[in-house]
Amino acid sequence: MNRRKFLQVLSAFGVAGTLPMTLGAPSWAAATATTQRLFITVNAAGGWDPTALIDPKGNASRADGLGPVNKYAASAIKSAGRLQYAGYPDGIEPPASTSAGHLETFFNKHYQRLRVVNGIDTQTNGHETGTRFVWSGRLETGYPSVAALAAAPYANQPMAFISNGGYDFTDELVAPVRTASAATFTSLAYPNSQYADNAALRSQSYFSDKTYANVKAARELRLARLRTGETLPQRAAQMAQLEKVRSGDMKLDGLLAYLPAQVSTGLKGQAELAVAAFASGLAVSANLNLGGFDTHGTHDEDQTAALTLLLEGIDHLWEQLVLRGLQDRVTVLIGSDFGRTPFYNTGDGKDHWNITSIMAMGAGITGNRVIGATDADFEALKLNPDTLEPHSSGIIVTPKHVHRALRDFLGVSSELDKLYPLNVERLALFA
Amino acid sequence: MGDIATHSQTLRQTFRQNSGRWSSHGRTWLSSGNVLSLIMSFTLFALSALFALSAISPQSAHAATGADSTPVFAHPALTIPRIDVQGYGSLNLSLVLESEASMTFRIASAAPAAAGLTPGATYNLQTQELTIPTLRVGSQFYSAQLRFISADRLQLVSTTAVVLPGQTSYQQLCANCHGTDGLGGSVGVSLKNCSNCSALDVLGTRINNTMPLGNPSACIGTCASDVASYILTAFNASASQQTGQALAAIEPLSLDATLRNAALHLVGRLPATAEVALVTQKGEAGLRQALDGMLEEDAFYARLAEIFNDVLHTNRYLSTNGAEAAIGLMRRFPTSRWFDPGVDLRGSDFTVNRTTTNNSVATEPLELIEYVVRNNKPMTEILTANYFMVNGYSAKSYGLTGINFTNEWDPNEFRPAVLPGTPHAGILSSLMFLNRYPTSATNRNRGRSRLVYDVFLDVDILALDGVRPDGSAVDISSDAPTMENPDCVKCHTLLDPVASSFQNWNLRGTFAPPRTWYTDMFQAGFAGVSAPPRSSGDSLQWLTKQIVADPRFDDAMVRIMYTGLTGHEPLDGPAAGAPQAQTDAYLAESTHLDYIKAKYVGANRNLKTMVKEIIVSPYWRADGLNNIAFSAVHEETGAARLLTPELLHRKIEALFGFQWRGPLDQYAANRNVFSSARLLDTRQYYHQIYGGIDSFTITDRLTDPNGLMVIVQERMANEMACYGVPNDLLSTRTARRLFPHVDTSTVLTSAQGQAAVRQNIQHLHRYLLGEELALTDAEIEHTYALFATVLQQGQSAMLGKTETSSLPTRCMRSNDMNTGASLNVAGGVDGRLRNDNNYVIRAWMAVVAYLLSDYRFIYG
């Protein structure tokens, strides 16, 4: 409903001819201000259980008789630096310790780059509302995801924002791009090739180079003529948008050079494509998405499986970033719709709970730190907004605070910030 | 009457405040073409002349249809639909504000007042004063008095703010949901031309019995009738003129073009000759008749399922999201996996039976919609049906016997059935719906309730303005905050009664009444009415009857179909302070949608009626504007959309006679393989990239192109040109779709050849793009130039040995497309097409690729 916003924002940033550009003045590293900053969100879709991950409680019975929060002993809770992480529930077979998704393996490897914020109150237990709040900073509709905000200044890059589903509302600031297999990308990297997936035959084209150039030139001239003569504003706007997108320089073959020979499935595959798109300069922001966390039944079994896949995916993402030398340019934010109840239902499941956590790593993030806390019943504790330490007269942290801090950290421009204001205390959650 | 100076100042300020809004896009009430050229002196004698003139002057169509009598000031025009002049009769009078400093008006036009109006002003011949008891200025009301000063001019001498009966009650009780301007909000519908706004008593009764939601006793009797009167006066006044002007500015597609677009969209084919003849002979009536036929075709129901799945997403359980994604939800049915005799005993039909069964279960809600529409039943039945739909495969899974299938192995033969002991409630009790929107012990069906409001009542509860606490913790210290905390109650008073009505359907979507239901939430009910005791039946069945009786259910159906057919959601009501153009746009569109809704409701809520009305509406047919002054009003008008992958897939097949699946020599083997369909398959090909949804993790279509999507278009154009051009030239001229005027030897060396090429280009523009162009049209010349250039360069390249006469390998035709048999039968004619000795085929390929990547092909 706000088609004009896209062009207005582009205009406000003077995009044409000035790319690449930064999001603004990065707050975290002046040394990298001249390089393009990149951003990834990882969504654990369905509502993860922080008490099974980075806000562990143990199996002490609750005073209200609802049973334990977790089904592992408090003594099973472990530490990696300042981070505490959960043990595996009784009766659940953990993944192999060699698996990157094993809790101990993962946290021992990554704790020094991980920053955790616990005790975030999402104020909802509805999936749609939760994902919207967690990824946009606003409970109500209307704000783009932070990944889309990060991509907005680069909106005329053809793959600026890669979305794998989840909350990817952009408010038309930038066109989200969805992905598929490596073979699909190959076919699109060489649209005039009859045998794009065969390097030896790739040069066999449908049209000669000369003919193809003629077709493309005629097509763009025709589109310009149509737009000029169009009197229906909607169609004229569509034509203008098509012209703009077509004018982008995709260079997908560059992306292919950074893709593994065999692209993985699931979250790992999403990570590989995002990193390849970053490395080739096509994308600046991506949201990755993994389901399986809505564990209303057999929680321990299913949540453990989902968390294992999540941690394996994050580890793989990190390895890909390192492989491409991007670990100092990419900030990764990991979160979920909300949390799960600090007690089990009659089906050994856990239902929705409004308290959650986030994890951040990568560029600009100082790891080995935990901010925020919850009590024994997994209720959020108030924080002193200055010291970020628990304080009874402090404030409850919400996703709105997280996004306020995140925008400041990422250097989201004042223009975008004014378009989607977040009037809330500024907490140095990522500084 | 108060102090004249004060009141004049008040009105003057009001005028100034509104002047920026009402004059922002240069329109006044006087631009409708009905201004009398002669401005008369407003004297006793002039009145006589005015009456004489007005009797022979053309009357505004809008004035003739406007039933409201309230005078309106919309800067700079003051319109009085009916003014009675003692001893003379009734006039429709327009004045124009000439001087804001002196508040002087000039008489701009006069016409006989339309029949049925009540007097909105009087003119006293003795005092020469014009008195307007109620003058509408924006959403405010005043009484005003003007005095004749000279010639054709009057001066405002006093105003008094008027509070209409019901106005205060409206602002206190109704405005929160319906908006202060009556244009609706996230919960309340627009009260402009609302379904109950046909008459004062109808609206009054509605308010008296049901409003405000959740507390109808707050406004009954006089309060209800006063509020009804206020709504009719304040929000249903003078919209018709604005709406009429806005709609008149739309230049519609020709009926022929409308027929083509409708056929491609609704049934994925070009119009039949008989359909074209119908339109030629009968005009719009013929178009409607042709549409009647289309709406009986299976292809229409496939499209209908897509439209409804875009909001329900129950196709999440199709086998593309898991081989047994739907069957896995049927654990309580012992025969759910009837097709599996055990791993060691599986036959060759195991996979097809499993897939067919799973998809038959998965599509059950959409099959119910098809059944209702196909059989001309009212759409209300999609919620009130006390049955669900099965075919032979899914019936076996449910363990149902005795259903009279004509062919139990026909996957397309769905019939109504009843699960024993199950009080079906249409889609809402569907296993697919209930699992797609699961609940939990803490959620207590609130998620389901929210969706019911959103999809079936056109109410987005999550968009309620200002009611959800934000930025600070919610006080949930009481035992039942959702019933006691005012911040919570605002939403939960709507949400929870519907949620409680689902109480007999458990977390897994099974009918399993609990022993008790929660007492710390609002109990089952709807719109302030409590559900009957549990002993009298299932509350969900009761709920569906309430929902379909609510006018918002009709709004919801219109929204779904309008969005599905145009690709654009109906406009939201303008926010406070929005430009006037947005208000005008909303008024015009919502008024027309109300008209469509009325037709649909009048046809016993037959969805086919609604589809036809949308197709023939100016919004679907919009092809341009005949008055650029309305550009801002029509910024979002039209049904042009980037075709979805499914729509593009079908359009390609309709025009080429085959689908985009790869080279035609392998088509016989690929044609029924899902994974070879370039625009339908997600993993290897382009469905997801091109904006499609899987109804699971991706539920929103991409409606604007991105960098990858334009490359998909490019590849599609290249491949389809490669496959389609040689294939068409294989056929005899009379059987061809693309090239009825040329052959592979038709070149440009003769005037005859040049004319044939131009004629064929004209045909291609018509056939592929729907453009009717004269042979002399510049676009024909542009395309001709492309053909000529490629032909000349290609022939030169062949002479220079940089290109050969061979077609690109994948464009060659060696096998029959449908059978796969060789086209070079031993002993017969070699029917293959592998060479392009004149470069003509490749030149036409270039032209077809050019046209297939055109805006008018990929949008529709």
Out of B93-102, B106-115, B203-212, B377-386, the most confident range is: B377-386
B683 Cβ under 8 Å from any chain A Cβ: yes
Q: Are A207 and B794 in contact (CB under 8 A)?
A: no
Is residue B73 included in any domain, yes or no? yes
Q: Are A313 and A267 in contact (CB under 8 A)?
A: yes
A231: nearest CB among B469, B628, B709: B628
**CA-based nearest distance B295→chain A, Å:** 28
Selected residue with higher pLDDT from A85 and B488: A85
On whether both B617 and B727 belong to a single domain, the answer is no
Selected residue with higher pLDDT from B706 and A378: A378
Contact criterion met (CB < 8 Å) for A141 and B462: yes
pLDDT tens track for A45-66: 999 999 999 999 999 999 999 9
Nearest in space to A403 (alpha carbons), one of A385, A379, A420: A420
On whether both A149 and A204 belong to a single domain, the answer is no
Mutate to test the interface with B, among A234, A245, A296 (most CBs of B within 10 A): A234
The pLDDT of B810-817, averaged and rounded, is 96
Contact criterion met (CB < 8 Å) for A1 and B794: no
- Domain stop point among A213, A233, A260: A260
**CA-based nearest distance A391→chain B, Å:** 15
On whether both A219 and A330 belong to a single domain, the answer is no
Question: Which helix (H) or strand (E) covers residue B525, if one does?
Answer: strand B525-526
Nearest chain A residue to B689 by CA distance is: A178
Contact criterion met (CB < 8 Å) for B803 and A208: yes
| The pLDDT value given to residue A161 | 93
Q: Domain of B228: which CATH number?
A: 1.10.760.10
Place B156 in a pLDDT band, splitting at 50, 70 and 90.
very high
Contact criterion met (CB < 8 Å) for B711 and A165: no
Is residue A425 included in any domain, yes or no? no
Mutate to test the interface with A, among B714, B811, B856 (most CBs of A within 10 A): B714
Is residue A28 included in any domain, yes or no? yes
Is residue B779 included in any domain, yes or no? yes
Characterize the bridge pairing of strands A369-371 and B525-526: unpaired
- The lowest-confidence range among B441-445, B522-526, B676-680 is B441-445
Range 635-664 of B in CB contact (< 8 A) with A: 635-638, 640, 642
pLDDT tens track for B599-653: 999 999 999 999 999 999 999 999 999 988 899 999 999 999 999 999 999 999 9
Contact criterion met (CB < 8 Å) for B440 and A128: no
CA atoms within 13 A on the CB side of A285: 24
Nearest chain B residue to A404 by CA distance is: B471
Looking at beta carbons, which residues of chain A come within 8 Å of B568? 234
Is residue A67 included in any domain, yes or no? yes
On whether both A223 and A304 belong to a single domain, the answer is no
**Does the pLDDT at position B195 exceed 70?**
no
Q: Helix, strand or coil for residue B251?
A: strand
Contact criterion met (CB < 8 Å) for B718 and A206: yes
On whether both B50 and B124 belong to a single domain, the answer is yes
B712: nearest CB among A188, A231, A242: A188
HEC readout, chain A: CCHHHHHHHHHHHCCCCCCCCCCCCCCCCHHHCCCCCEEEEEEECCCCCHHHCCCCCCCCECCCCCCECCCCCHHHCEEECCEEECCCCCCCCCCCCCCCCCHHHHHHHHHHHCEEEEEEECCCCCHHHHHHHHHHCCCCCCCCCHHHHHHHHHCCCCCCEEECCCCCCCCCCCCEECCCCHHHHHHHHCCCECCCCCCCCCCCECCCHHHHHHHHHHHHHHHHHHHHHCCCHHHHHHHHHHHHHHCCCCCHHHHHHHCCCCCCCHHHHHHHHHHHHHHCCCCCEEEEEECCCCCCCCHHHHHHHHHHHHHHHHHHHHHHHHHCCCCCCEEEEEEECCEECCCCCCCCCCCEECEEEEEEEECCCCCCEEECCECCCCCECCECCCCCCECCCCECCCHHHHHHHHHHHHCCCHHHHHHCCCCCCCCCCCC
Mutate to test the interface with A, among B247, B448, B453, B470 (most CBs of A within 10 A): B470
Contact criterion met (CB < 8 Å) for B640 and A289: no
- The lowest-confidence range among A35-39, A274-278, A419-423, B541-545 is A35-39
Question: Which range of residues forms the domain containing residue B203?
Answer: 167-237
On whether both A301 and A330 belong to a single domain, the answer is yes
B631 Cβ under 8 Å from any chain A Cβ: yes
Q: What ipTM does the predicted assembly reach?
A: 0.79
Tally of structural domains, chain A: 2
User: Tokens 């037959």 label which residue?
Assistant: B606
Mutate to test the interface with A, among B253, B710, B771, B801 (most CBs of A within 10 A): B710
On whether both A290 and A164 belong to a single domain, the answer is yes
Tally of structural domains, chain B: 6
On whether both A267 and A256 belong to a single domain, the answer is no
B700 Cβ under 8 Å from any chain A Cβ: yes
On whether both B329 and B465 belong to a single domain, the answer is no
On whether both A271 and A381 belong to a single domain, the answer is yes
Characterize the bridge pairing of strands B121-124 and B153-161: unpaired
On whether both B524 and B455 belong to a single domain, the answer is yes
Place B1 in a pLDDT band, splitting at 50, 70 and 90.
very low
On whether both A325 and A246 belong to a single domain, the answer is no
Q: The tokens of A166 are what? A: 């989840």
Is residue A220 included in any domain, yes or no? yes
DSSP result, B15-37: HHHHHHHHTTTS--GGGGS---S
| The pLDDT value given to residue B447 | 87
Q: How many CB pairs under 8 A join A and B?
A: 242
Looking at beta carbons, which residues of chain B come within 8 Å of A187? 715
Place B68 in a pLDDT band, splitting at 50, 70 and 90.
low
Instruction: Give the Cα-Cα-Cα angle B461, B464, B467 (nearest 5 degrees).
Output: 115
Contact criterion met (CB < 8 Å) for B707 and A159: yes
Place B185 in a pLDDT band, splitting at 50, 70 and 90.
low
On whether both A207 and A79 belong to a single domain, the answer is no
Looking at beta carbons, which residues of chain A come within 8 Å of B797? 208, 210
Characterize the bridge pairing of strands B104-112 and B121-124: unpaired
Range 228-287 of B in CB contact (< 8 A) with A: 251
Is residue B352 included in any domain, yes or no? no
**Does the pLDDT at position A255 exceed 60?**
yes
**CA-based nearest distance B714→chain A, Å:** 7
On whether both B612 and B756 belong to a single domain, the answer is no
Range 591-630 of B in CB contact (< 8 A) with A: 622-626, 628
Selected residue with higher pLDDT from B627 and B794: B794
| The pLDDT value given to residue B229 | 82
| The pLDDT value given to residue B171 | 87
On whether both B446 and B534 belong to a single domain, the answer is yes
Q: Helix, strand or coil for residue B756?
A: helix
Contact criterion met (CB < 8 Å) for A206 and B709: no
The pLDDT of B531-539, averaged and rounded, is 88
Strand partners, A356: A120
The pLDDT of B727-751, averaged and rounded, is 97
On whether both B808 and B771 belong to a single domain, the answer is yes
B37 Cβ under 8 Å from any chain A Cβ: no
Looking at beta carbons, which residues of chain A come within 8 Å of B714? 191-192
| The pLDDT value given to residue B53 | 37
- Domain stop point among B131, B161, B191: B161
On whether both A111 and A252 belong to a single domain, the answer is no
Nearest chain A residue to B632 by CA distance is: A233
On whether both B233 and B204 belong to a single domain, the answer is yes
Is residue A233 included in any domain, yes or no? yes
Characterize the bridge pairing of strands A176-177 and A161-163: parallel
CA B801, chain centre distance (Å) = 56
Assign residue A305 a region (left: φ > 0; alpha: ψ between -120 and 50; beta: otherwise): alpha
Contact criterion met (CB < 8 Å) for A232 and B572: no
Looking at beta carbons, which residues of chain A come within 8 Å of B636? 1, 3, 233-234
| The pLDDT value given to residue B35 | 24
pLDDT tens track for A204-220: 999 999 999 999 999 99
- Domain stop point among B137, B161, B185: B161
Selected residue with higher pLDDT from A244 and B607: B607
Question: Which range of residues forms the domain containing residue A72?
Answer: 3-181+263-419
Looking at beta carbons, which residues of chain B come within 8 Å of A351? 440-443
Range 444-503 of B in CB contact (< 8 A) with A: 446-447, 450, 460, 462-463, 465, 468-474
Contact criterion met (CB < 8 Å) for A178 and B634: no
Looking at beta carbons, which residues of chain A come within 8 Å of B712? 188
- Domain stop point among A260, A293, A318: A260
- The lowest-confidence range among A83-87, B693-697, B799-803 is B693-697
Contact criterion met (CB < 8 Å) for B809 and A194: yes
Q: Which residues contact A176 (CB under 8 A, 6 or more apart)?
A: A148, A161, A162, A163, A168, A170, B702, B706
Nearest chain A residue to B852 by CA distance is: A219
On whether both B305 and B393 belong to a single domain, the answer is yes
Contact criterion met (CB < 8 Å) for A245 and B706: yes
Q: Are B704 and B642 in contact (CB under 8 A)?
A: yes
The pLDDT of B327-356, averaged and rounded, is 94
Looking at beta carbons, which residues of chain B come within 8 Å of A162? none
Contact criterion met (CB < 8 Å) for A214 and B789: yes
Is residue B665 included in any domain, yes or no? yes
Contact criterion met (CB < 8 Å) for A181 and B471: no
| The pLDDT value given to residue B476 | 57
Contact criterion met (CB < 8 Å) for B708 and A177: yes
Q: Which residues contact B236 (CB under 8 A, 6 or more apart)?
A: B68, B191, B192, B193, B197
CA atoms within 13 A on the CB side of B382: 28
Place B99 in a pLDDT band, splitting at 50, 70 and 90.
confident
- Domain stop point among B161, B176, B203: B161
Q: Helix, strand or coil for residue B805?
A: coil
Task: Provide Rg for chain A, Cα atoms.
Answer: 23
User: Which of the 8 DSSP states describes residue B445?
Assistant: T
On whether both A211 and A317 belong to a single domain, the answer is no
Contact criterion met (CB < 8 Å) for A252 and B473: no
The pLDDT of B544-573, averaged and rounded, is 94
On whether both A159 and A195 belong to a single domain, the answer is no
**CA-based nearest distance B691→chain A, Å:** 7
On whether both B561 and B509 belong to a single domain, the answer is no
Is residue A430 included in any domain, yes or no? no
B790: nearest CB among A126, A194, A211: A211
User: Which of the 8 DSSP states describes residue B455?
Assistant: I
| The pLDDT value given to residue B86 | 63
Average pLDDT, chain B: 86
**Does the pLDDT at position B317 exceed 80?**
yes
Is residue B308 included in any domain, yes or no? yes
Angstrom distance (rounded) from CA B608 to CA B593:
15
B811 Cβ under 8 Å from any chain A Cβ: yes
Instruction: Give the Cα-Cα-Cα angle B544, B545, B547 (nearest 5 degrees).
Output: 60
Angstrom distance (rounded) from CA B483 to CA B491:
10
